[in-house]
Structure 1
Amino acid sequence: MQSEGLIMKAISGFYYVKSAGAVYECKARGVFRKKEMKPFVGDHVLIETEGKRGVLNEILPRKNQFARPPLANLDQIFFILSSCDPLPNYFITDKLIAIAEHKEIEPIIVATKGDLSPVDSIVERYSKAGFRTVAVNNMDWTVDDISEFLYGNVSAFCGNSGVGKSTLLNNLLPFAELETGETSAKLGRGRHTTRHVELFEVEGGFVADTPGFSTVETMQYDIIEKDQIQYCFREFSDHLGQCKFTGCSHTVEKGCAVLDAMERGEISPSRHESYVQMYNEAKEIKSWEINKK
């Protein structure tokens, strides 16, 4: 009997698919290997079942996907930044937010460790850019702080080890018994303790526990063409098309409406700096590298 389901977890070639209130352990048909297709957690799929086992027959159309971590059909990503140990890496965060925007996934900013150091600069930076932000105190964090965002959505939490991602998820998903990692004093980052992607049901939606993103993975698997980057910084939107010259890169040109807005204090200089760095990196990418993706 064939039915539609949602891939909740993928481990060692087995896909755990929720369908009609039950979870089935499934293997994918060989046709996926021949077509070089791989099912992702978050995929809506068609399966045939017998007992508690099944066969994955078809992947239904995706609205978005990430190759690293392998995750599909996200509605929103919570980007977690800590006020200390480790300090925020704004460029990496802005790059990942831009990728989310490019894929039409809503970014939400969570500033952690407010009990150890002020989070005001994080909140101000991203709320000014037009993002919903949440500040949490790790000592008394509760589900209520973000539950309003979860209902009806598939959400992922993204953050380097040590920022409190696993701690937050443990508060949100106490039944999952996730491991947490300490920050390395030498590297300024912690060990990734999550080994696979998995969806959990909570507050009327699904939350993905995922390995963290990294610069290498971002650059290798998610390329945004230079002329498209401007559309991935939402605070630019009111000023695009208002520049003195067509084809403005919004980096150094005179008469640039984006630069004028920054001078007026409407756009954060550090956010614009991230944009310029992304734009300059994108200029170095060859067309064949983009077409390969």
Structure 2
Amino acid sequence: MSMTKLNGLLMKSIGGFYYVRCDGKEYECKARGSFRKSGNSPVVGDKVVISVPDEGFASIEEIKPRINKLKRPALANIDTLVIVCSTVDPEPNFTVIDKMTAAAVNNNMIPAIVVSKNDLKSGERIAKIYRNSEFPVFLCSPDDTENVNKLKDFLKGKVSAFTGNSGVGKSTLINRIFPELELQTGQISRKLGRGKHTTRVVELFEIDGCFVADTPGFSTVDLQRYEMIDKTHLQYCFPEFEKYLGECQFTSCSHTCEKGCRILQAVSDGEIEPSRHKSYVAMYNEVKDIKEWELR
């Protein structure tokens, strides 16, 4: 039996079967048992090598090196984490947003901030905080097609996952950017007879050159629970700190309360947003007594 080897992208896994997109065609695959034995099973977003026989199931032979991997939802090689917050109802929780941005940076993702309900209350104050952190920021409201299109252009060619607290308008935003996605996921739900309380599998959809992760139930709680950052790495997850690192009076400076801390001076001088530093201190205090091996 002859075999053809192809490079592809894992779009969905369900019931022990993996669906891999190769050159516009989707293959239903099984994975070699060696992946399970090594504890490194394929996940959605993986770049893989499959072997395709003349007849029978294709097989995943190799998982290419990942740039990142989330534990929950199980998703790999995410380019952009889109963090949705709202100006009102609910008010923005800056500590939660900052935990998301830090988790993204720590996992080699670009955090993009989308401020919704900009029509009810201006989101410029929120936007200023995160532009100062050098993150892409988009202000959106129901009738603002221009900014929705800018966000869609930004996501082209990238694998993106969306997260945000309940009530911020995450689903509404996704459906505005990708109306086809609601159509596809709705068809799947009807086909499988799933109720609203049933968790769908994680799946990637390719729409208009964007790869969008459909991650039902993916909340900010998941990232906070599974993506804690070691205290020595945390300072590097706040990009606006970078130019001041190494300038503190003490080499072991935690940047929380020490005399001669250059970060604290930058906060005092208005160069670093106070809310960002407050979040950093809260995160530092959460992990300061935890050993790195315990986090792993």
Give the TM-score category using the shorter length: 0.7 to 0.9
Q: How does 1:183-198 map to 2 (within 5 A)?
A: 195-198=200-203
Alignment of 1:279 with 2:284, yes or no, is: yes
SS of equivalent residue, structure 1 residue 84: coil
**Distance between the aligned counterparts of 1:24 and 1:167, measured in 2?**
31
SS of the aligned residue for 2:96 comes to helix
**2:220 equivalent in structure 1:** 214
Does the aligned pair in 2 maintain the 1:194–1:209 contact within 8 Å?
Answer: no
Query: Structure 2: where are the runs of 5+ without partners?
Result: 187-195
Aligned partner letter, 1:232? C
Q: Which amino acid aligns with 1:222?
A: E
Matched residue, 1:14:
17
Distance between the aligned counterparts of 1:90 and 1:144, measured in 2? 26
Offset, 1:131:
1.4
2:136 is aligned to 132
Deviations 1:173-225 (A, max 9, x none): 2222257xxxxxxxxxxx9886332222234231222242333x335432321
Question: 1:112-261 to 2 correspondence within 5 Å?
Answer: 112-141=116-145, 143-177=148-182, 178=185, 195-211=200-216, 212-215=218-221, 217-261=222-266
Q: Given the superposition, is the C-alpha separation of residues 281 and 192 from structure 1 closer, same or farther in structure 2, using an over 3 Å criterion?
A: farther
Provide TM-score, normalisation by structure 1.
Answer: 0.87
2:29 is aligned to 26
Q: Secondary structure at the match of 2:174?
A: helix
CA distance in 1, matches of 2:56, 2:161: 28
How big is each residue's C-alpha offset from its partner over 1:86-138, in whole Å with a ceiling of 9 and x where there is no partner? 22221122112111111221111110111223212221221122212110112
- Matched residues, percent identical? 49
Aligned match of 2:8:
5
Q: Between Structure 1 and Structure 2, how many residues are aligned?
A: 279
Match of 1:184 in 2: none
What displacement does 1:274 show?
Answer: 0.4
2:65 maps to what in 1? Answer: 61
1:66: Cα distance to partner?
0.8
- Corresponding residue SS for 1:110: strand
User: CA shift at 1:34, angstroms?
Assistant: 1.3
TM-score normalized with structure 2 length = 0.87
* Greater share of residues in helix: 2
Question: For residue 77 of structure 2, what is the aligned residue in structure 1?
Answer: 73
Partner Cα separation in structure 2 for residue 128 and residue 165 of structure 1:
24
Counterpart AA for 2:125: S
